[in-house]
Amino acid sequence: MKKKVAIIFGGCSSEYSVSLVSATSVIKNINKDKYDVIMIGITQDGNFYLYDGEVDKIEQNEWLNDNTCKKITISTNRSDHGIIVLETNEIIKLDIVFPVLHGQNGEDGRLQGLLELVDIKYVGCDMFSSALCMDKYLAHELVSSSGILSPISYLFTKYDTLEKIESKVSHLKYPLFVKPLKAGSSFGITKISSVTELKVAIEEALKYDDKIIIEENIDGFEVGCAILGNKNLVIGEVDEIELEDGFFDYYEKYNLKTSKIHLPARISKEERNKIKEIALEIYKILGCSGFARVDMFYTKDKKIVFNEVNTIPGCTSHSRYPSMLREIGMTFEEVIDRLIELGEER
């Protein structure tokens, strides 16, 4: 009998559109002979719908207008292990949920906590690890306490005055990064070259969260590692982001107009192996399971500096995460299959 896998997409997040693209790719590449796919869409205002229409309508953001959509809720009765169709009160049992959601309300532990509460298995990091990795400041603090280099950063809230913020960061050397504490795809991030740009950058970051961090610039290039597993961990090849200017912002991540991704990274095998070792250590320190992409900086003097962990990285067939695993011989379909197995194991 096929296992029922609910793939959840969309979400009440600034990364709603990114999720639609990732989910479309996962649905098209999942093994239909092995899994019965249940598609669940979350609107930008947070309503859950069962969707049974054409897969391409998801990426085109036309799914909600389809007449197959039925409003649902996740059953809070642990014995149900599934969803309730509100029109008919039908209960659909699920074997596992695959959240293909990015950013807040999907990647930050909230959905994971709900699924744990109602005893439904799911793919990816657990509630605690998801929340910890989303909090850039706490993730840096914990990783730093284990002896791994992280950028100097300071945490502020929306109640802190501009004078206080300026004073706190006055000893840092420009350029600096101003970031929302919890956001993905580089939304709300600004690279500033002087204190005169600070106020506008703070206002931009606060559009995405009520807490921000201000972080020193690391003079180096970004590298990433795809990690797969709960206990027996598999690590993909290291990639490298080459930038002409600025930083790897939302536009560059999804257009690559002035940047390039090199796979493998243009450094020696020994250097790549060292980066892999640090990535594995970070994955374990932050309690990750299932899968994650660990991003770091590699400096001119060969230091490895932690940047962030993406607990639900981009999931299109050409995204960085599956590309790094493809480099070691795993197809995208095999990655999806293994992720589901790992979710069932936990």
Q: What is the pTM of this model?
A: 0.92
Question: Residue 303 is encoded by which pair of tokens?
Answer: 């230091």
Which band of pLDDT confidence, cut at 50, 70 and 90, is reported for residue 258? low
176-220 tens-digit pLDDT: 999 999 875 578 899 999 999 999 999 999 999 999 999 999 999
Give per-residue pLDDT as tens, 45-80: 999 999 999 999 999 999 999 999 999 999 999 999
Q: Residue 340: what residue type?
A: I
Split into its structural domains, the chain has a count of 3
Residues 289 and 145 in one domain: yes
111 shares a domain with 95:
yes
For 243-262, what is the mean pLDDT?
A: 60
44: domain CATH number is 3.40.50.20
Same-domain check for residues 54 and 8:
yes
- Whether 197 and 249 map to the same domain: the answer is no
- Tell me whether residue 44 is in a domain: yes
Domain span including residue 192: 153-216
Q: Which residues contact 290 (CB under 8 A, 6 or more apart)?
A: 123, 124, 125, 228, 229, 230, 339, 342, 343, 346
Same domain, 140 and 175: no
Helix segments in 30-135, DSSP class H: 56-59, 110-117, 127-134
- Indicate whether 42 and 112 sit together in one domain: yes
Q: Mark whether 229 and 332 lie in a shared domain.
A: yes
pLDDT higher than 60, residue 269? yes
Tokens of 29: 């590449």
**Do 182 and 301 have their domain in common?**
no
127 inside domain: no
For residues 304 and 315, which has the higher predicted lDDT (pLDDT)? 304
Which of residues 267 and 182 earns the better pLDDT score?
A: 267
Question: Is there a contact between 288 and 189 (Cβ–Cβ < 8 Å)?
Answer: no
Residue 284 forms part of a structural domain: yes
Give per-residue pLDDT as tens, 132-154.
999 999 999 999 999 999 999 99
Q: Is the CB of residue 156 less than 8 Å from the CB of residue 214?
A: yes
Q: Band of the pLDDT at 251, cuts 50, 70, 90?
A: very low
